[in-house]
Amino acid sequence: SLASLAPEYIRAIAPYQPGKPVSELAREMNLDPAKIVKLASNENPLGMGPKARAAVERELAELARYPDGNGFDLKAKIAERFAVNLDQIVLGNGSNDILELIAHAFLREGDSAVFSEYAFAVYPLATQAVGATNICVKAVDFGHDLDAMRAAIRPDTKIVWIANPNNPTGTLARPGDLIEFLELCPKNVLVVLDEAYTEFLPREKRSDSIGWLKQFANLIVVRTFSKAYGLAGLRVGFALANPEVADILNRIRQPFNVNSLAQAAAVAALDDLEFLKQSVEVNAAGMKQITEALQELGLSFIESYGNFVTFHCGDAKLLNQFMLERGVIVRPLAGYGMANSLRVSIGLPHENARFIEVLREAMEG
Ligand code: PMP
């Protein structure tokens, strides 16, 4: 067969399951798309910020031109905001692109990468896609067991993937534990600290991960504009790393991997601190609204530091179907080995209320 032209390790990859698109569900269930509530992909329910939107509108006039292949303006803005040098920055078509670049650059058959049980699904995917071996380390209380992860590092390990906060569990590692991990981790192993949700953390919970780059040459910090900044559809993320590592990643990325609209929007988004603050506040209020309802309904959940919460509900497949039929899209986690849990992203107050209403109907009905 033609599929057998691909190596066995590629054929063994389970497809990534994104949240069901609204239009697909509308057609499937014969529902009005305007009434569907999608709380499945940890997006910003406010949409994009006004400054980013204005930047996109201005940039529309330039779409016949290629984007800036070096992303100069965006890198300059990132350098200024995060106090790093331009040669430490790699831009990606979403942070997923960055994760893939890292795997492509540093992993081969015969290498291995370490990650936690229940950690973000793209880590095993990116690792397996290049023929390297996945080392999945048992979680503790749904979070990363950093000591066990360190112990799992083998001579052939090139990368440790860490999501902080983690998706889909929302768990958070303490800064002190991360520093200890970095201190004890072999210096020839790259530590990828994926901080897609870091903006949602209260100041006192935040790690000075970017500051740690000075001390740990093997650290790569990964960030995204898809969550708090509200630009998921534009696809833009970035890595901050040692210049040597950044140089390698920049050599293998596609020359125009981040499109012009995304670059312009990201620059403007970094300048829109007002919108960022509002997004974080809306998330905190929505998190309270949803977790209080879960408690009231007697459903246990994993305390989350992201813009989503994972709760336990018995047969998640049944509940998920019940919700889909009523136009509420959440994320089943069977692919993560959590067949009794669902992940709900925090939405606007009325979206959260609709989710709660349908959940109550399922529980009490
Ligand atoms: N890392 C984590 C932990 C995530 O949850 C996500 C989004 N689901 C990503 C990376 C990728 O996001 P993006 O490619 O949109 O930047």
Where does ligand 1 bind, in terms of residues with CB under 6 Å? Answer: 42, 94-96, 120, 163, 167, 194, 196, 224, 226, 232, 237
Cα of 305 from ligand 1 centre, angstroms: 15
Query: CA-CA distance, 203 to 223, in Å (whole number)?
Result: 17
pLDDT of residue 185: 98
Task: With a cut of 80, say whether residue 202 has pLDDT above it.
Answer: yes
Residue 59 clears pLDDT 80, i.e. is over it: yes
- Residues of CATH 3.40.640.10 domain(s) within the chain? 50-272
Residue 165 pLDDT grade (very low, low, confident, very high; cuts 50, 70, 90): very high
Specify the domain boundaries for CATH 3.90.1150.10 within the chain: 2-47+274-364
Find the 194 Cα to ligand 1 centroid distance in Å: 8
Q: Which atom of ligand 1 is nearest to the CA of 165?
A: 3
Q: Rounded distance, CA 200 to CA 282, Å?
A: 10
CA of 229 to the centre of ligand 1 (A): 13
Q: In the predicted model, what is the mean pLDDT of residues 217-232?
A: 98
The residue assigned the tokens 């996109």 is 56
Atom number of ligand 1 nearest to Cα 99:
10
Site of tokens 């100041």: 203
Closest CA to 358 of 300, 298, 293: 293
- Which pLDDT does position 140 carry in this prediction? 98
Query: Which atom belonging to ligand 1 lies closest to the Cα atom of 236?
Result: 16
CATH topology of domain 2-47+274-364: Aspartate Aminotransferase, domain 1 (3.90.1150)
Q: From ligand 1's centre to the CA of 296, what distance in Å?
A: 31
In the reported structure, the alpha carbon of residue 86 is separated from the centroid of ligand 1 by a whole-number distance in angstroms of 23
Q: What is the CATH number of domain 50-272?
A: 3.40.640.10
Task: State the pLDDT at residue 232.
Answer: 98
Q: Are strands 338-345 and 308-312 parallel, antiparallel or unpaired?
A: antiparallel
Question: What percent of the chain is predicted at pLDDT more than 90?
Answer: 97
- Burial track 321-341 (b if 16+ CB lie within 10 A, e otherwise): eebbebbbbbbbbeebebeeb
Residue 365: pLDDT band with limits 50, 70, 90: confident
ipTM: 0.99
The rounded distance, in Å, linking the Cα atoms of 202 and 222 is: 19
Q: Residue range 169-187: average pLDDT?
A: 98
Query: pLDDT for 98-150, tens place per residue?
Result: 999 999 999 999 999 999 999 999 999 999 999 999 999 999 999 999 999 99
Give the model's confidence band at 20: pLDDT under 50 very low, under 70 low, under 90 confident, else very high. confident
Out of 90, 95, 192, 199, give the residue to mutate to test ligand 1, the one with the largest number of ligand atoms within 8 Å of its CB.
95
Q: 196 CA to middle of ligand 1, Å?
A: 6
pLDDT of residue 348 exceeding 80, the answer is yes
pLDDT at 15: 82
| Per-residue pLDDT, 19 | 81
Edge to edge, the sheet with strand 219-224 lists: 89-92, 237-241, 219-224, 190-194, 157-163, 112-116, 133-137
Give residue 263's pLDDT: 98
**Model confidence pLDDT, tens digit, residues 273-291:** 999 999 999 999 999 999 9
Tell me the average pLDDT across 326-344. Answer: 96
Ligand 1 pocket test, pick from 101, 227, 331 with the greatest ligand atom count within 8 Å of Cβ, gives 227
Query: Residue 17: its pLDDT value, please?
Result: 77
Separation of CA 74 and ligand 1 centre (Å): 19
- Distances 164 to 34, 93, 106, 222, 337 between C-alpha atoms, Å: 34, 20, 21, 10, 20
Report which ligand 1 atom has the smallest distance to the Cα of 224.
16
Residue 113 and residue 123 in contact, taking contact as beta carbons nearer than 8 Å: yes
